[in-house]
Structure 1
Amino acid sequence: MAPPHRYEAQDSDIRRPSRRTLLTGASALAAAGALGAAGCSRVDTGDLLERLRAQGVVRLGIAGEIPFGYIDKNGDLTGEAPELAKVVFKRLGIDRVQPVPTEFGSLIPGLNSQQFDVVSAGMYINAERCEQVLFADPDYQMLDAFIVRKGNPKGLHSYKDVVEKKAKFATGTGYAEIAYAVEAGYKESDILIVPDQVAGLNAVEAGRVDVFAGTALTTRSVVRKSAKAESTKPFAPLVKGKPHIDGGGFAFRLTETRLRDAFNAELAKMKKSGEVFRILKPFGFTQDEMTDMTAKELCRG
């Protein structure tokens, strides 16, 4: 994903971070460590699924990105991935989910250092990440889109356009869109990296950049109340010269095959029944963004 990350948007002003999420950055990792020490062994031995069942709680790594996984204005955990996680883990015999917010770029390191048990942030599945973590099958598929000034004055509809028109380009920390821009010929050192889509919108509105790249879902959500910016029509970025559709899902440590397989089995049932779409729809997902792709396909790149 671009997944994609860090602020809660208020209905009254989607551009303004109203308050920090429950925990962020280093404080999130420190608090998670304390929780782990108090509530469970942090040594990765035995069967994690059985340990989680015994504890009755699973720790979810989230990145504060609307609509994927975030703490809302009431202090409650929500987002497409956490809401899906609540149902799946309940059916696996784990009654509670506990959020551990961190920066998007810290999700995989935090997972592998056992700061939390699962990444629940709608993370895009790609070959590089598949070398570091074990993915469940994607629960959604997604195209890219840009945030641009109203009227799209530079006519930016693809990464190729960004390169050819020498546009000032921004995207988020750890986003897959960095690689897509570089593949199109944009110099990586010239990319402005911002924390999330809200910061990207602010950069476009202020004229610091011409374009911010993110997922079609997050860009259309964040510009909804903007008087100065709009999102472009979704498009498939080129990977190795071919149009590419991303898929996002849950990530597990490489050793946790049993937990991932149990999760996948429940997810497959929910896809077949239409329950996945019913859970994701309130967060802006459409039927076109449901998917039957597998993690294996996406890991091939």
Structure 2
Amino acid sequence: MMERLPLDRGWTKTPAWLVRWKECRHQRRNLRLHSVVIRDGCAGRRARRGRGAISVDVPATLVQTRRCAGGHAAWWLAGFVALTACVALATSVTAQVQGALAKARAAKMLVVGISGGDAPIAWMSPKDEPLGITLDLCKELIKREGIDKLDVYTMPFSSLIPALTSGRIDFACDTFFPTEKRKQLVDFTDIVFYNSETLIVKKGNPMKIHKLADLAGKSAGSYEGTVWIDWLNDLNKQGAKIGVKAYPAVTELVADVAAGRLNGGILDAVLAAYAVKQNPKLGIELVADYQPREKQANAVALVVRKDSGDLREAFNRMLATMKTDGSLDKVFERYGLVPPSFYLKP
């Protein structure tokens, strides 16, 4: 609680930001501590209506001045202390305004969230090592920004944006479609890549399938409930006569294509490429010249809080540099996503 300064009984009226101790006839008295209140940016004024006041407690012993009979007050020390407090406040407020990157630099740690189990995009290894495309990018970011550690939290995908907006994490290091609804809550980085569909066939492509129209009179499938099943059914409405099969799991789809029980399958390009990279003997291949139907609609980006423009801008700068110098291509090649241009260009 602030202690009011008496204006009589030996006290002299002073400005609000200054506490003075009167010592007359060179007689020392016991020192008392009071507080300096710095209001409205250290101006010594009450905060304007509608703006909050910022208070900083400073011991009066630091700002006391001696005033003797016939002497003059020495104001410079008190002013210096008040100015120092003001600068400290300004520095703190500036860091807060700068956002998540400034916070990470100060803490030497960037706190990120991923949905986990989403290879090759972002997941944790059995040794608790962060792996995946987006985590490789986040690790490169902290390296370039002089931050020591990447602290990774795994959670359901639906929890990532709430965790971000509540401050539990500072960066959602996972891929999101930048929808208008999400843009009301968070900000997006530049587009990282295009997670479109691809067409898989038996290794060697014995049926010479290169596009969806080539599936006419053959069998094809995808996951249950996907738009890709709708695409195949739409082709049938046009007379394609495709034997359409919906699968509850990707493993069953891949197994049927590899065994020749299904002539073609539609699934996520990133997932399919990584599966082939991990198991070259899987018996399937991606149709190299397949052109996705809605590639630009499958653009994905990372997510930051709306107060973290500094982090977004730093990530975008890094991403642009990596695209130019070819280091982003190497990230995709590491996970079997070749050619990288298929995923990086619209």
Same fold? TM cut 0.5: yes
Aligned to 1:170: 223
Map of 1:45-194 to 2, 5 A cutoff?
46=97, 47-62=99-114, 63-127=116-180, 129-146=182-199, 169-170=222-223, 178=226
CA distance in 1, matches of 2:180, 2:218: 30
Corresponding letter in the other structure for 1:201: T
- With 273-282 and 54-63 compared, the bigger mean Cα shift is at 273-282
CA distance in 2, matches of 1:155, 1:171: 25
CA distance in 2, matches of 1:193, 1:117: 37
The CA RMSD over aligned residues, in Å, is 4.2
Match of 2:336 among 265, 269, 284: 284
SS of residue in 2 equivalent to 1:281: helix
Match of 1:220 among 273, 292, 299: 273
| 8 Å CA contact 1:61, 1:100 repeated in 2 | yes
Q: Are positions 1:258 and 2:310 aligned together?
A: yes
Shift of 1:151: 8.7
SS of residue in 2 equivalent to 1:98: strand
Corresponding letter in the other structure for 2:104: L
Shift of 1:110: 3.7
CA spacing shift, 1:146–1:125, aligned 2, 3 Å: farther
Shift of 1:260: 0.7
CA spacing shift, 1:171–1:90, aligned 2, 3 Å: farther
Corresponding letter in the other structure for 1:119: A
Corresponding letter in the other structure for 2:152: P
Shift of 1:130: 4.0
| 8 Å CA contact 2:222, 2:253 repeated in 1 | no
CA distance in 2, matches of 1:69, 1:221: 12
Q: Which has the higher contact order (CA 8 A, sep 6+)?
A: 1
Match of 1:205 among 255, 264, 267: 255
CA distance in 2, matches of 1:247, 1:230: 23
Greater gyration radius: 2
Identity of aligned residues (%): 24
CA spacing shift, 1:52–1:234, aligned 2, 3 Å: farther
SS of residue in 1 equivalent to 2:301: strand
Aligned to 1:29: none
Aligned to 1:270: 322
| 8 Å CA contact 1:110, 1:116 repeated in 2 | yes
CA distance in 2, matches of 1:65, 1:136: 20
Shift of 1:117: 1.9
Q: Deviations over 1:18-39 (max 9, x none)?
A: xxxxxxxxxxxxxxxxxxxxxx
Shift of 1:82: 1.0
| 8 Å CA contact 1:171, 1:213 repeated in 2 | no
- With 107-116 and 77-86 compared, the bigger mean Cα shift is at 107-116
SS of residue in 1 equivalent to 2:151: strand
Corresponding letter in the other structure for 2:315: F
Shift of 1:266: 2.5
Gaps of 5+ in 2: 1-95, 235-244
Shift of 1:76: 1.1
- With 53-62 and 161-170 compared, the bigger mean Cα shift is at 161-170
Shift of 1:145: 1.3
Q: Deviations over 1:229-288 (max 9, x none)?
A: 55445644445xxx6463333211233223211221222223222222233321223341
CA distance in 2, matches of 1:169, 1:51: 44
